[in-house]
């Protein structure tokens, strides 16, 4: 791929490094420091927004692994997030486990649950698999609504996490849990896609028959992709439940699953930075509509509050249509082009 001009990899370790140059290290350190200071530097609302953003990034990152890298379309991500949220609530509130233990456990449990959802992927693919995952969504919601364990329609309340007496009961405090988890999971995903497993997933996506001929065990890798994807969804669900202090099935609708797929399309399928681009763009657009619509209603009284406020769905649809038509490879592709041109600057091809 593109390298900064004059930078050469002299060792295998250097070739494999994610951060390759001192400048990048500096940028990384400064970025992480600034991120750590954000709750102090920016208003409360932005911290809350960033928490929401980070949880969505974790969730969509999981979707990227199964759909973007392995090519298995899944509309079950919202349901898997629900499983994570409920698992966390049960583990912490009913079994008395600590949040810190519940966080990975809810991921693992959701991953195992996801194996059931991913099982049909060996026999069916494409639209058929998409429909099967929609069925998984509805079955999951049905189970949540009918099991005493999940509090049925009333949901489960959750206590905020604590560590050595320090309670993470505000958005600012939760930021210090959510953001490191997001960074860790992004790092994990970034590495995963460079490994043998990652390459196998891409091979399955690009041509599953060819992959099988090369010795890739299709069922194993497809299920593995579902497991990893659901692990991410489970962790996101656990964080979400502890942020909102409640696990409730109406927080995880099929419409949410569609939004997550939309974020993936906008950001770019098969790209880790694409997840960030997609989530950030869609969420910012959503927030902007929320901010702007009251003013639109005030500036254009004939429009009224309802149509002005309902702009969100329209805007999302328009953006999605725009990307599908003009940039189907998503913002990540634009980003790669931009990076390439900056590295060559002032020279041209």
Partner 1 sequence: MRARRILLVFLAALMAAGWATIPSLASAREVTFLDLTDFTGPVAGLALPGSLGLEDYIKDINARGGVQGVKVKYLGVDTRYDVARMLSSFKRYRRDDSVLAINIVSTPFGKVLKEITAKEKMAMTIPGDGEYQASPGNFFTWGPTYQDAFAAAMDWVIDDWKKQGKTGKPVVGHLAWDSPYGREPLRGGKEHAEKIGINLLNPEFFPSGTPKHDVYLSRLEAAGANYIYVACVDPAPTNVLRDAAAMGLHKKIQFITDYWGPTALGVGTHPQAVEGAVVVSFFLRGEEAKNHPITKRIWTTYRKDPAEKMNETYGMGIVWGMTFEAALKDAIKRVGAEKLSREVIYESYQRITGMSREGITGSCAYSPSSRRGSQEVKFYRCTNGKIVPITDWVRTPDAVSLHKW
Q: How far is the CB of 324 from partner 1 (least distance, A)?
A: 14
What does the angle CA 82 – CA 57 – CA 94 come to, to the nearest 5 degrees?
30
Q: How far is the CB of 331 from partner 1 (least distance, A)?
A: 12
- H-run or E-run covering 213: helix 208-213
Q: How far is the CB of 10 from partner 1 (least distance, A)?
A: 41
Which residues, 6 or more positions from 293, have their beta carbon under 8 angstroms from its beta carbon? 305, 308, 309, 311, 312
Q: How far is the CB of 54 from partner 1 (least distance, A)?
A: 13
Which residues, 6 or more positions from 280, have their beta carbon under 8 angstroms from its beta carbon? 53
Which residues, 6 or more positions from 72, have their beta carbon under 8 angstroms from its beta carbon? 66, 118, 121, 125, 129, 222, 225, 226
Q: How far is the CB of 84 from partner 1 (least distance, A)?
A: 15
Determine the length of the chain.
Answer: 349
CA distance 349 to 345: 10
- Of the candidates 271, 343, 326, the one whose C-alpha atom is nearest the C-alpha of residue 69 is 271
Name the residues that contact partner 1, by CB under 8 A: 43-45, 48-49, 52, 138, 141, 145, 152-155, 157-158, 171, 244-246, 248, 250-251, 253, 255-256, 286-288, 290-295, 297, 304-307, 309-313, 322, 326
């Amino acid at each position: 791929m593109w390298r900064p001009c004059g930078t050469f990899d002299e060792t295998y370790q250097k070739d494999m490094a994610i951060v390759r140059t001192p400048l990048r290290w500096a940028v990384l350190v400064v970025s992480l420091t600034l991120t750590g200071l954000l709750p102090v530097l920016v208003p409360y609302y932005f911290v809350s927004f960033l928490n929401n953003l980070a949880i969505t990034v974790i969730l969509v990152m999981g979707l990227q692994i199964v759909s973007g890298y392995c090519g298995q379309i899944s509309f079950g991500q919202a349901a898997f997030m629900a499983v994570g949220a409920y698992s966390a609530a049960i583990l912490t509130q009913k079994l008395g486990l600590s949040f810190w233990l519940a966080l990975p456990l809810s991921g693992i449990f959701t991953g195992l649950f996801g194996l059931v959802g991913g099982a049909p992927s060996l026999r069916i693919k494409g639209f058929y698999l998409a429909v099967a995952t929609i069925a998984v969504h509805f079955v999951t919601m049905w189970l949540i609504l009918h099991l005493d364990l999940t509090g049925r329609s009333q949901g489960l309340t959750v206590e905020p996490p604590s560590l050595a007496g320090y309670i993470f009961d505000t958005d600012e405090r939760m930021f210090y849990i959510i953001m490191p988890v997001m960074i860790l999971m992004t790092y994990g995903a970034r590495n995963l896609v460079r490994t043998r497993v990652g390459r196998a997933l891409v091979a399955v996506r690009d041509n599953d028959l060819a992959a099988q001929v090369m010795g890739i065990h299709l069922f194993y890798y497809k299920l593995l992709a579902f497991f990893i994807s659901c692990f991410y969804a489970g962790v996101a669900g656990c964080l979400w439940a502890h942020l909102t202090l409640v696990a409730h099935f109406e927080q995880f609708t099929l419409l949410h699953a569609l939004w997550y797929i939309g974020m993936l399309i906008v950001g770019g399928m098969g790209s880790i930075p694409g997840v960030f681009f997609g989530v950030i763009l869609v969420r910012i657009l959503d927030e902007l509509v929320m901010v702007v619509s009251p003013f639109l209603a005030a500036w254009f009284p004939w429009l009224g509050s309802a149509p002005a406020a309902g702009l969100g769905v329209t805007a999302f649809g328009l953006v999605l249509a725009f990307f599908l038509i003009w940039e189907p490879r998503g913002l990540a592709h634009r980003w790669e082009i931009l990076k390439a041109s900056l590295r060559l600057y002032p020279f041209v091809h």
